[in-house]
Amino acid sequence: MQLDDVSIDVGGRTLLRDVSLVIPAGELTVIIGGSGAGKSVLLRSIAGLLDADDDVIRRRGSMRVVAHDDRPARIGIVFQNFALFDEWNARDNVQFAIDHRTDRSCEPVKSAAEWLDELRVDPAARPSTMSGGQKQRLAIARTLAAQPNVVLYDEPTSGLDRATGHEVAALIATTHRTHSQTSIVVTHDYDTLLRIADHCLLLDSASQTLRKIPKTQWPTIESELKPVAARAVKPIAASLKTNVIAIGDEFVRGLGHAVRALGGIVTVPVQIATSAFSWAWAWRFFVHTMRLIGGPSSWGYLAMAGGIIGFTATYFTFRFLPFQSYSKPLLIEDLLGSIGFAMYRILVPVLSTVLIAARCGAAMAADVGVKRYGSQVDAIRTLGCSPAGYLALPAMIAFLVATPLLNWIAFEVARVVSLVCFVATHPEYGPQFWQMHFYRNLDDGNGWWFRGSAWVLAKTLLCGVGIAAISYDRGMIAKESAGDVSRCITSTVLWSTLYVLVVHFVIALIEF
């Protein structure tokens, strides 16, 4: 790993300035630094995980893997929070890495079962049932299965008890010796991990350098670790005018994000074409996403909405009809036709897509947001994949399938409830009368394809695509806390609902 004139700035503070060094191949190097020195930023920079449009972190210079052959070089990372896919078991987590290894033209070094046997992990176990040490083993197995040239370990003993920390350190040392890869460990636990190191680098925030510490100085290295003092920020008293401006600025930014999300749809095929991609894994992500947004819980949600529409549209139309004693016999046929038309063309599509934006958009944003916060998105990137291929594309397809389906469920329930309500309040007419006149403004002789179905389908598909794009974009914004995930869900509901209403308004102007 070679660094040439590397400088890193974070929020106006310089972490590194013009650093050039070589991290030797095939050896285990530990990078330490005081609290707040920027170890995590350095690790993400080495792994190539800094976003190109990040306006907080800036990096200059180059960091590259100098390979000894012509094979493509890759950096693997064992994340501090493990970044395991919770919806899959251990075998699937490792198989995903094998299927996206550096050189897929050759047979894999080991099968998923062999990697898990070496690291002593139960293949059928899910990450949610594992201890911290077991998750660490699975994370190492998945990283090695992708056959990287360099393996990064991000605070591998963080959150572990002393005994488990020593066990993990021994595991790293054994793995390093067995597979002869270049290993870089970023840690604050120097007492545990220096015992297995070949080299030690100190991230010195005072001199803004990354320098080698000779082994003779390792016993006294604690004196070199100085926490970085947080810069005091002077509070600014916010006036009413300031708050109004801030709200307006937030609205404009949110509108810009929504527009960017819709524009990002066209880049999805390009991102897929320029990265590792497997239709088999895309299908698995699609199934997961489809269950999330178009599963049975959504059916019940939209069915209840349809029932409410069917009841209110039918019952209250006749209940509060003016001068019903003489107008009802004359208007009842036209009213039923109007109710059917309004429910199919307007009421059900509007309410169902608004509810889909609120419920399914929030679920999708939460799923992507948690993957962003839990580093699963970064894990996908380190395997040479574009998140668009396994998160955005399945979401787009799932919403294109689920939105018309859920709208249809809502309408079917609405018309059944309307029929029951009408027959209960007008027993003298019966269900045949309702059937004859409910569809009078919809039936054009084509059977199940009602008049205006193309407009309904166009509205639901446009809404589905927009909800998918907005929820994915909101979920992919960098997350530093669980609160950021909550805010991304809230903004998804806001902007996807607003988008849906705009779609219906514009289509209505054209349609009618």
Q: Write out the two tokens for 13.
A: 């503070």
3-state secondary structure 198-219: CEEEEEECCCCEEEECCHHHHH
CA dihedral 148, 154, 155, 161 (to 10 degrees): -60
CB of 392 within 8 A of CB of 107?
no
**Nearest Cα residue to 206 out of 7, 59, 34, 11:** 34
Confidence at residue 510, expressed as pLDDT on a 0 to 100 scale: 94
Q: In the block, which residue shows the tokens 């995590």?
A: 40
pTM of model > 0.85: yes
Contacts of 16 (CB under 8 A, 6+ apart): 6, 7, 8, 38, 42, 203, 208, 209, 210
Q: What are phi and psi of 183, to 5 degrees?
A: -120, 135
pLDDT tens across the length of the chain (512 residues): 899 999 999 888 888 999 999 999 999 999 998 777 888 888 889 888 887 666 778 889 988 888 766 666 889 999 999 999 999 999 999 999 999 988 887 889 899 999 999 999 999 999 999 988 899 999 999 999 999 989 999 999 887 788 888 888 999 999 999 988 899 999 988 889 999 999 999 998 888 899 999 999 998 888 877 766 555 545 555 555 555 565 566 656 666 666 767 777 778 888 888 888 999 999 999 999 999 999 999 999 999 999 999 999 999 988 877 655 555 555 788 889 999 999 999 999 999 999 999 999 999 999 999 999 999 999 999 998 999 999 999 999 999 999 999 999 999 999 999 999 999 988 888 899 999 899 989 987 666 688 999 999 999 999 999 999 999 999 998 888 889 999 999 999 999 999 999 999 999 999 98
Confidence at residue 250, expressed as pLDDT on a 0 to 100 scale: 62
Confidence at residue 38, expressed as pLDDT on a 0 to 100 scale: 84
CB of 352 within 8 A of CB of 303?
no
Numbered ranges of CATH 3.40.50.300 in the chain: 2-224
Confidence at residue 239, expressed as pLDDT on a 0 to 100 scale: 57
Instruction: Give the side-chain half-sphere CA count within 13 A for 436.
Output: 7
Q: Determine the Cα angle at 156 with ends 152 and 158, to 5°.
A: 140
Q: What are phi and psi of 163, to 5 degrees?
A: -65, -45
Confidence at residue 21, expressed as pLDDT on a 0 to 100 scale: 92
Run of H or E residues at 9 = strand 2-10
CB of 151 within 8 A of CB of 46?
no
Confidence at residue 103, expressed as pLDDT on a 0 to 100 scale: 80
Confidence at residue 268, expressed as pLDDT on a 0 to 100 scale: 83
Confidence at residue 325, expressed as pLDDT on a 0 to 100 scale: 56
**Phi-psi group of 183: left, alpha or beta (phi > 0 → left; psi -120 to 50 → alpha; rest → beta):** beta
Q: Give Cα 230 distance to the centre of its chain.
A: 31
Confidence at residue 253, expressed as pLDDT on a 0 to 100 scale: 66
Confidence at residue 262, expressed as pLDDT on a 0 to 100 scale: 72
CB of 35 within 8 A of CB of 158?
no
CATH no. for 2-224: 3.40.50.300
Q: In the block, which residue shows the tokens 């598909």?
A: 461
CA distance 434 to 438: 6
